[in-house]
Structure 1
Amino acid sequence: MLLLLGLISMLAACGGGEETGADAEGDGELKDTYTVASDTSFVPFEFKEDGEYVGFDIDLINAVADEAGFEIELETTNFDGIIPGLQTGSFDMAVAGIGITEERKKKIDYSDPYFESGLAIGVPKNNDSIKGIEDLEGKTVATRLGSTSAAYMKENIDNVDPNQYEQLDQAYLAVENGSADAILYDAPNVNYYINTTGDKLKVVGDLYKAEDYAIAISQGQEELVKAVNNALDTIKENGTYDEIYEKWFGKKPE
């Protein structure tokens, strides 16, 4: 009898261990809802219009969520607060024209790239002295706080004074009112701003530091990274990505 009871206890313990293993595997499953951080002033990628957040990135993350089968809760913050928020777990993901850098890879995970960008210089239309990146030496240059363009200036331009602003409209205003000589920032945003605000600024020079944007994801969520990448592949294959791109940039991607 004692031997029989001992065998039953051992079998029960083994059964309990198998159940725990199944539960552990379930920890890798996707959640129903993820918190997505974004910025509020990076036109045409994300901005507020008629009380709603719109833009290329907003349409993209919604298409990815629909394809992957989860809901998103959008939260907005200043750009320089996005990476810290992902590190602390305040956000699960972020989409805000976030360039892929080796330094950021130490702190967050990335999806596959979804947009190829670069940096452009914007100056007042009557400025003929700044024609390229070499002419920014000794100048005051506006950009966005925490951006790759700020890092690019420090690494590649001698004797430059980078004025970093939390909001992009402040950076453009600084150039327009003369408190900065130029703006160096992501080319799609610089071109969009100039094309939609009249004849105050112009683009000069080449496209500098080509970089890719990706969806930023807090570390330790391998299943989410995989689901997002699969969804990106699908929307690129079925034409959804092209439709979103054409909606915001007036043409299909090359």
Structure 2
Amino acid sequence: MISRVSTILLSTVLSAMAMSQAHSQDTIKIGIDASYKPNAWVAPDGELTGFEVDLAKAVCAEIKENCEISNVPWDGIWTALDTDTIDMVGTTVTVSKARLEKYDATRVIYKVGYAFLVPADTDVSGGIPALKGKSIGTITGTQPYYEYIKAMLGDDTDIRGYDSPDAAVLDLDAGRIAAFMNDDQQLQYQFISTGKYKLVDKPTYDSKFVGAGRAWFFRKGSKVLVDKFNKGLDAVIASGKLDEIGMKYLNAKFTTP
């Protein structure tokens, strides 16, 4: 009798362990850099929130997958993907040839433009060319930003990388950089809306700079997972949920291919 009970208990424990392991393996780990409000930030209660967080949750719900979303700083997000710490870069990233050679990506989710930000009292009559020879800030590790700045202002431009837009704009306010280059949606929401800043010129949407648009990235060989997320994205976009989330956080609807 004791032997039988022991066997049942052992079987129950092993079954629970197997279920726990399966649950862990089935969980899709998504990393999002939570330093770019309104795209993603950490709320006072410690919860991740923002446009990209809500979009990832909406797609995970659509495809009925258990997703674990964590805050992974931009400067370590690709290493986290390469080392299997996360399964997906949930920060929407510009699609480029170089990235597609190394990673798998979803369909393009939306498009943004590139622009230069300056304090509101700056004379911008000379346009972008007037920034030549000056120090320009942008986000560290965002290669398309660096390439765009060099194309517009020259290869010898003093480009200074920052871990966050807030850090860059602090230096902009202090006069340590002449302009901050980033995507126009981020600049509009976080800075221009305050009335303290403006764009040097209209944003560019030229595909040779901004690429096809922004997507989510996975390790190479993730076709099954990518296909699943693509179906979820198609459904979320078709239902109007993407626009709903965009209006909630950015007061804007997105241009989708």
Which TM-score band applies after superposition, normalised by the shorter structure?
0.7 to 0.9
Give 2:182's aligned amino acid.
Answer: Y
From the superposition, tell whether residues 253 and 75 of structure 1 become closer, same or farther in structure 2 (CA, over 3 Å). closer
Moved more, 32-41 or 47-56: 47-56
| Aligned pairs for 1:84-233 within 5 A | 84-129=79-124, 131-147=126-142, 148-158=144-154, 159-196=156-193, 198-208=194-204, 209-211=209-211, 212-233=213-234
8 A Cα contact 1:34 1:70, kept in partner = yes
- In structure 1, the residue matched to 2:12 is none
- Shift in Å, 1:47: 1.3
C-alpha distance in structure 2 between counterparts of 1:149 and 1:130, whole Å: 23
More off after superposition, 107-116 vs 86-95:
86-95
Change (3 A) 1:133 1:49: same
Whole-Å Cα distance in 1 between the matches of residues 236 and 57 of structure 2? 11
TM-score, normalised by the number of residues in structure 2:
0.81
1:132–1:218: structure 2 CA closer, same or farther, 3 Å change rule? farther
Aligned-partner Cα distance in 1 for 2:219–2:173: 37
1:182 Cα shift? Answer: 0.4
Distance in structure 1 (CA, Å) of the matches to 2:245 and 2:115:
23
Deviation at 1:155, TM superposition (A): 4.1
- Count matched residues: 223
CA 1:134 to 1:228, structure 2 compared with 1: closer, same or farther past 3 Å? Answer: same
**Alignment partner, residue 22 of structure 1:** none
Larger radius of gyration: 1
Selected match of 2:71 from 63, 70, 76: 76
- CA distance in 1 between counterparts of 2:138 and 2:84 reads 27
2:171 counterpart SS class: helix
Higher mean alpha-carbon deviation, 162-171 vs 70-79, is at 70-79
Q: In structure 2, the residue corresponding to 1:117 is in which secondary structure?
A: coil
Identity of aligned residues (%): 29
2:39 is equivalent to residue 42 of structure 1: no
For 1:232 and 1:113, locate their aligned partners in 2 and report how far apart those are by CA, in whole Å: 9
Q: Deviations over 1:87-110 (max 9, x none)?
A: 222210012231111111122111
Query: Structure 1 stretch 229-238 or stretch 123-132: which is displaced more?
Result: 123-132
Unaligned segments of structure 2, at least 5 residues: 1-24
* Letter paired with 2:242: Y
The unaligned stretches of length 5 or more in structure 1 are 1-30
Provide the aligned C-alpha RMSD in A: 1.8
> Structure 1 pair 60/181, CA: closer, same or farther in 2 (3 Å)?
same
Distance of 1:206 and 1:82 partners within structure 2: 31
Give the superposition deviation at 1:115. Answer: 1.3
**In the aligned structure 2, how far is the partner of 1:53 from the partner of 1:195?**
24
Q: Which residue of 1 aligns with 2:27?
A: 33
Contact kept, 8 Å, 2:39 with 2:50, in 1: the verdict is yes
Structure 2 contact 138–181 (Cα < 8 Å) conserved: yes
Structure that is richer in strand per residue: 1
Deviation at 1:131, TM superposition (A): 4.6
